[in-house]
């Protein structure tokens, strides 16, 4: 039995702890393990400057039943590259982020269905080479069309439960073709740097009949 004079002290201590918990700032919790190119989901998000990120990662099977939920994709350095907001399983907002090497600058492109893209960001962005990620999941490339600039590098990341390959229609040095596709096994990554402007159409030859196609649009660097 707790003495009567100690019970009042105990109640005051419990009340104080409860107040501290309620007043404590919310901890921003990102996914514990981040793999580049994979999609992570949550029903919560936070903002860090121009960049939105998810909190408290949850399984897709658990999250898709929510009326509103969020998706984030990260690069190899753990930075958010794509953020999407869903309502009733439909994308109502997409934001893409471009970073500058060794610089805090970031450029944000906001995509809303039915509206033109809006680009905002730091004014100190320099036209330096960037790294972009294309996911391979659900027998499709994500994004299907990616616009980059000369000197940028694209990383294909196979998040699927089967192997894919990459075959370009244009025959260039170091670029896999329809005759010699580049196989990308499960969890494997493959990178390619684009040194010339142009429109590069490619496909997964294994799953081409399922329309697993993609396009890389390479623009001149200003």
Q: Within 10 Å of residue 74's Cβ, how many Cβ atoms?
A: 21
pLDDT tens-digit readout, 194-209: 988 999 999 999 999 8
Q: How far apart are CA 126 and CA 83, in angstroms?
A: 23
181 backbone dihedrals φ, ψ, rounded to 5°: -70, 160
Does residue 110 sit in helix, strand or coil? strand
Domain ranges of the chain: 29-126, 127-222
37 backbone dihedrals φ, ψ, rounded to 5°: 90, -15
pLDDT tens-digit readout, 93-127: 999 988 766 556 788 888 888 888 888 876 444 55
Q: How far apart are CA 23 and CA 29, in angstroms?
A: 18
Does residue 106 sit in helix, strand or coil? strand
127: its two tokens? 């036209």
* Residues 143-165, mean pLDDT to the nearest whole number: 92
pTM of the model: 0.52
CATH homologous superfamily for the domain 127-222: Cupredoxins -  blue copper proteins (2.60.40.420)
Q: Would you place residue 12 in the very low, low, confident or very high pLDDT band (cuts 50, 70, 90)?
A: low
Q: Within 10 Å of residue 187's Cβ, how many Cβ atoms?
A: 12
């Amino acid at each position: 039995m707790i003495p009567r004079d100690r019970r009042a002290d105990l109640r005051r201590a419990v009340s104080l702890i409860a107040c501290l918990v309620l007043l404590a700032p919310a901890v921003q919790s990102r996914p514990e393990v981040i793999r580049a190119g994979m999609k992570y989901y949550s029903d919560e998000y936070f903002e860090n400057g121009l960049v939105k990120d998810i909190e408290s990662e949850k399984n897709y099977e658990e999250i898709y039943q929510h009326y509103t939920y969020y998706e984030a994709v990260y690069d190899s350095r753990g930075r958010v590259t794509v953020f999407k907001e869903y309502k009733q399983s439909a994308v109502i907002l997409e934001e893409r982020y471009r970073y500058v090497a060794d610089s805090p600058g970031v450029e944000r492109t906001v995509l809303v269905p039915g509206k033109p893209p809006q680009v905002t960001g730091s004014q100190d962005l320099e036209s330096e080479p960037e790294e972009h990620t294309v996911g391979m999941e659900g027998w499709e490339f994500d994004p299907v069309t990616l616009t980059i600039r000369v000197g940028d590098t694209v990383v294909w990341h196979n998040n699927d439960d089967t192997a894919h390959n990459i075959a370009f229609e244009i025959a260039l040095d170091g670029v896999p073709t329809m005759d010699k596709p580049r196989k990308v096994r499960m969890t494997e990554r493959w990178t390619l740097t684009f040194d010339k402007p142009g429109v590069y159409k490619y496909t997964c030859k294994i799953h081409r009949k399922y329309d697993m196609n993609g396009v890389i649009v390479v623009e001149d660097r200003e």
